Structure 1
Amino acid sequence: MNITNNQASKALYQAIDKANEIGVSANITILDTAGHLKLFARMDDAFLGSIDISMGKAKTAMLFRMNSEKVGEFLAPEMGTYGMLQTSGGLVGFKGGMPVTTGTEILAYIGVSGGSPDQDFEIAKAGSTI
């Protein structure tokens, strides 16, 4: 099942509320389960350079159906799969990308960029359950 407009809006605004609460201007991407853009927001003063990062985090989470930092564990040189970083148009293997769920079912993917990896994770997590 794909995410509806109302569900995507709820996820986006939950993430924006968290970003405002912690004082981070972020770019927030919501992709449907096929990896197509559903919603995007660039908050006031968010870095232009982090637009692609937010989209990359959501895409990475979608491609592997897991948090982007979990994919990052496979990208470490000692894993022998670090070349994977350049696949699928580039992967982003640090915090801020994750599935959006109803608790049990994946409906979409969210990617956040604009703060530290921990801040991006906190913002994405706020939008990850609807």
Structure 2
Amino acid sequence: MYITRVLLPLISLPFLALGQNLSSTNGIGSTPQERHFVTAQQAQTIIAAAAANATAIQIPQNIAVVDPSGLLVAFLRQDNAYIGSIDISMKKARTAVLFNGLSSGGLFPIYLNGYLIGGVGVSGGTVSQDEEVATAGVLGLGALTSAS
């Protein structure tokens, strides 16, 4: 009991720290002026571009945008999008930023000027449809899905 409640969390801490890439490209700077986060307006631009693509391919989607900490900035559930995909889209967006810019199956980090400013997650279609819609959202902001 003591091992699982006390020692296991303590043993895990160094490994969690190793998984985080603490560099100037992860949105965190030494002062608030140096921090790079997706703004509410940028998040709405991403969602609008993604939603336009989803409408064009006739697949209603759930679209989430988070900041570099994985906290929700904006969300859209299009009419007739799967209710079960609401939480999935949010978790995809969080995964994109919390796992050092992971890109896969409708989840992408959002890089602007070389800085990770957030993540986007899309759910409601096939993997390729989710990826297409998420990519359209990021590109609609003029951002990239990778640091380079």
**Shorter-normalised TM range:** 0.7 to 0.9
Q: What letter corresponds to residue 98 of structure 1 in structure 2?
A: F
Count of residues in correspondence between the two structures: 105
| TM norm structure 2 | 0.67
Q: Report the equivalent of 1:57.
A: 92
How high is the sequence identity, in percent, across the aligned residues?
40
**Greater RCO (Cα-Cα under 8 Å, separation 6 or more):** 1
Residue 46 in 1 paired to residue 81 in 2? yes
Q: What letter corresponds to residue 90 of structure 2 in structure 1?
A: M
Q: Report the equivalent of 1:11.
A: 46
Moved more, 59-68 or 119-128: 59-68
Unaligned residue ranges in structure 1 (runs of 5+) = 70-94
Name the SS for the 1:10 alignment partner: helix
Cα 1:103–1:54, aligned 2, differ >3 Å: closer, same or farther?
same
Name the SS for the 2:138 alignment partner: coil
Cα 1:121–1:103, aligned 2, differ >3 Å: closer, same or farther?
farther
Cα 1:54–1:60, aligned 2, differ >3 Å: closer, same or farther?
same
Moved over 4 A (4+): none
Unaligned residue ranges in structure 2 (runs of 5+) = 1-35, 142-148
RMSD (Å) for aligned C-alpha atoms: 1.2
Q: Report the equivalent of 1:120.
A: 130
Q: Report the equivalent of 1:91.
A: none
